[in-house]
Each structure stands twice: as structure tokens, then as C-alpha cells.
Amino acid sequence: MSNAAPTREVAQRVFAREFNDASYTFKESDDERAPLYLLLPTGARANRVFFVGTLTEKNDVGEDNEYWQGRIVDPTGTFFVYAGQYQPEAATALREIEPPAYVAVAGKPRTYETDDGSINVSIRPESITEVDVGIRDRWVVETAERTIDRLKTFDDEANEYASMAREHYDLPVENYRQAVATALESLDEIEAEDDGIEA
């Protein structure tokens, strides 16, 4: 099977509140081509993420070449995406979509150290697509469900990523239960009970 093409990692659905708290990255093997994972504080690994939010502003921050920064807001916080010549489709989308607009983004998390030594996270987008409010609302509900699922297994001793999260993050996981509640409350006409979500 060694000659089989590597399969793409499933993109984790994650709210901005949790994504921005993540700062620890790791590989699961010494192979230089091994995927780099971001450890989510609720105890999951993310090589790719998928989110939907409002593109509120965009700027070409490149010097010699176009290098777009996008600011995308979900009900819990802000994602920052950066796309340049190596992400041509995403860069074109950022150039052409006029804020404010709902967008769906799939991409890879990237961490970088700031001058004061703290770790920030951003997304290198593979795709950015303009979407409607229905898709945004459905993403909020699905991401709430996925987050609650991760929280339910967070204290399970067999959950190795939750163990890593407890070791690397001194963060109360209640923060993310609160983020779920905030996100669901932001939906205008959705009743959480109808979806069977217990936050």
C-alpha cells in the first residue's frame, strides 16, 4: 500500500473561539512529509479545518506580489486567512468577493510566534467560496454538535488527543461549551431543542 496516494485529512469543524486558543502543533511520525497537526483544546487533531463566517474585511498586504489577508467572523470570534501565489484560487476569491459576505473556507492551520513570544494561529486556505445564510446557519449547528461530541469524550482516558490537550493547555473546556451556547443563540430562528443538542 506504500504507493497509494495519501488521502486528504478530514477537515475539522471548529469555532473561532477554540481555534484561536490552539497553539500546539505536532507530527505523528518522523517522516518529513508527515502531516502537521494543530491540537484543538477540546481534544482533537486538525490537519485541515472547515468553517463558515462573514468576510468582514480584506487587505492586500503583499509587497512584491499579491498576498491577501481576510478577516472572517463567526458567532464566537475571528479567523484570519492568508492567501498568495501558492493559494491562487483562494487569493482570487479574496480579491473578488466584496465584504460583507458569507464565505465557506477549507484550509490548513498555521501557527506563528509574535514578537512578544505568544503563538497565534491563522489559516492557509485551500478554497474560499461565497455561500448563503442557510449554509452558514447549518455550519453553526454542525460545528456545535461536533464540539459537544468532543467535549463528551474529553475526560475519557482512552482519548489520546484529549490527554495531550490537558497536558498542553491550561484552559477550562467550559469555555467551549459556552462558545457552543453563544453560537446557537446567534441563530435567528433555530431552536436548539429541535436538533437534540444538549449544550
Residue 27 maps to a domain = yes
Examine the pLDDT at 39 and tell me if it is beyond 90: yes
Residue 102 maps to a domain = yes
Residue 92: all three cell numbers together: 482570487
- Select the more confidently predicted residue: 146 or 32: 146
Q: Say which CATH number the domain at 130 has.
A: 2.40.50.140
The secondary structure element, H or E, covering residue 183 is helix 174-186
Q: Do residues 43 and 21 touch, judged by C-beta distance below 8 A? A: no
Residue 59 maps to a domain = yes
Q: What is residue 9's predicted lDDT score, i.e. its pLDDT?
A: 81
First-residue to last-residue Cα distance in the chain: 42
The secondary structure element, H or E, covering residue 101 is strand 101-113
Residue 18 maps to a domain = yes
Q: What is residue 197's predicted lDDT score, i.e. its pLDDT?
A: 53
Instruction: Name the residue among 5, 12, 30 with its Cα closest to residue 123.
Output: 12
Examine the pLDDT at 195 and tell me if it is beyond 60: no
Q: Do residues 49 and 139 touch, judged by C-beta distance below 8 A? A: no
pLDDT in tens, 69-128: 999 999 999 999 999 999 999 999 999 999 999 999 999 999 999 999 999 999 999 999
DSSP letter, residue 1: -
Examine the pLDDT at 5 and tell me if it is beyond 70: no
**What mean pLDDT comes out for the span 129-140?**
97
Q: What is residue 6's predicted lDDT score, i.e. its pLDDT?
A: 55
Residue 42 maps to a domain = yes
pLDDT in tens, 7-19: 678 899 999 999 9
pLDDT in tens, 44-63: 999 999 999 999 999 999 99
Q: What is residue 8's predicted lDDT score, i.e. its pLDDT?
A: 74
pLDDT-derived band at 2, boundaries 50, 70, 90: very low
Q: Tell me if the bond preceding 75 is cis, omega within 30° of 0.
A: no
Ranges assigned E (strand) in 14-67: 25-27, 36-40, 44-46, 49-60
Residue 90: all three cell numbers together: 483562494
Q: What is residue 145's predicted lDDT score, i.e. its pLDDT?
A: 98
Residue 17 maps to a domain = yes
Residue 2 maps to a domain = no
Examine the pLDDT at 169 and tell me if it is beyond 70: yes
Expressed as residue numbers, the domain containing 59 is 12-187
Domain count, the chain: 1
pLDDT-derived band at 193, boundaries 50, 70, 90: very low
How far is C-alpha 121 from the chain's CA centre?
A: 9
Alpha helix ranges (H) inside 72-155: 88-96, 133-152
Computed over every residue of the chain, the mean pLDDT equals: 92
